[in-house]
Amino acid sequence: MAPQEHGPLSERHAALVMYECLKVVSTCHALGIVHGDVKPANFLLRQRMRDPLRFVERGQISNWLKAIDFGCSQVLRGSQLHRRTGTPVYMAPEVFQREYGLEADMWSLGMMLYQCMTCRFPFWPSIEACRQKSLDEVARAVILDDIVLNFGPWLSMSPEVCAASVPCCTSAPDMQSAPIQQQFFKIAMKEASEQHAKPNHRFVTCRGWTS
């Protein structure tokens, strides 16, 4: 579901979606794997259904997203990775600078959350404006520009969603922490369901963009 086509997600629904994505990324990181291409298109429904969030809220399904496209993934054998890989608009500043670790996936999740909540990316006023940028222009914006959280939708968002967004959307790797314990996600998951099975994701490898 593309946010620009269906409008932004509510805080509750964004929390439910991001919680599932965080579980996938946490599983990768526990194995020492950087996914390397975290974005909405790389998470699919495990079952074909209409309005899956309705079933999630009722506690009728769990582990309802699966991750695909591990073509950009790398095993972190040392302290840093150096291959620039992923989808540029979701790539962390340190990926463009070719010196990054597990935290780079958290930046990508932050970009996903920003997109789900506002129907745009942080550095451009619309999806269309973003698509017109070259790789160098995207890199320059990601590395140098500030992420704005004080306009439009952000002005009415709860402190919990802002607190969950800020750690992901920072250019300092040591500040990028998995907000899976954030109150934002705790509240949504408690309200939706008390039952959480262990992650059991299908990994489908296909070709990704690398340099």
The whole-model pTM stands at: 0.77
pLDDT tens string 52-82: 666 666 665 667 788 889 999 999 998 899 9
Among candidates 173, 176, 208, which has minimal Cα distance to 72? 208
* pLDDT at position 49: 67
Q: Which fold has domain 3-192?
A: Transferase(Phosphotransferase); domain 1 (1.10.510)
* pLDDT at position 136: 95
Percentage of the chain modeled with pLDDT above 70? 70
Percentage of the chain modeled with pLDDT above 90? 29
Task: Indicate the helix (H) or strand (E) that contains 33.
Answer: strand 33-34
Q: Is 160 helix (H, G, I), strand (E, B) or coil?
A: helix
Give the ranges where 32-100 is alpha helix by DSSP (H): 52-57, 93-96
Q: Report the chain's terminal Cα–Cα distance, integer Å.
A: 29
CA distances from 42 to 24, 38, 50, 65 (A): 11, 7, 19, 10
* pLDDT at position 67: 86
Instruction: Point out the catalytic residue in the list 37, 51, 136, 146.
Output: 37
**What type of residue is 190?**
K
**What type of residue is 7?**
G
Tokens of 121: 């990316």
* pLDDT at position 199: 39
- Residues 132-140 have a mean pLDDT of 94
* pLDDT at position 97: 95
Reply yes or no on whether 37 is catalytic. yes
Give the ranges where the chain is alpha helix by DSSP (H): 3-6, 11-30, 52-57, 93-96, 103-118, 127-131, 135-144, 159-168, 183-192
